Amino acid sequence: MNLLVEDNPARRRFEILIDDALAGFTAYQPRAGIVVFTHTEIEPEVSGQGVGTRLVREALDQVRARGDRVVARCPFVAAFIDRHPEYGDLLATD
């Protein structure tokens, strides 16, 4: 299985592809130096297989690499950051 997480700025979302097919996304609103995550969706056929976790981890890694901060309005992203305190430094005030 080939997994790829990529930013799709035109659609304002990070997408996870499995064997080149869209398996889910996490939507965001860009601000100056801040990425506001608003919603995450994973296709039902891959739900519960760690796809959402992989998507959010790699999206946050890309945000960190750009030097941006995060506002986690999406409950899935917020829960991920709560469970993985190594990403807590990315949080900005809303």
Residue 94: what pLDDT?
55
Span between the terminal Cα atoms of the chain, in Å: 37
pLDDT tens digits along 68-84? 999 999 999 999 999 99
Q: Is 12 left (phi over 0), alpha (psi -120 to 50) or beta?
A: left
Of 3.30.830.10, 1.10.3720.10, 3.40.50.300, 3.40.630.30, the CATH number of 3-89 is 3.40.630.30
Q: Give the residue from 35, 29, 94 showing the smallest Cα distance to 61.
A: 35
The radius of gyration of the chain from alpha carbons, rounded to an integer in Å, stands at 12
pLDDT tens digits along 17-67? 999 999 999 999 999 999 999 999 999 999 999 999 999 999 999 999 999
* CA angle (76 as vertex; 72, 78 as ends), nearest 5: 35
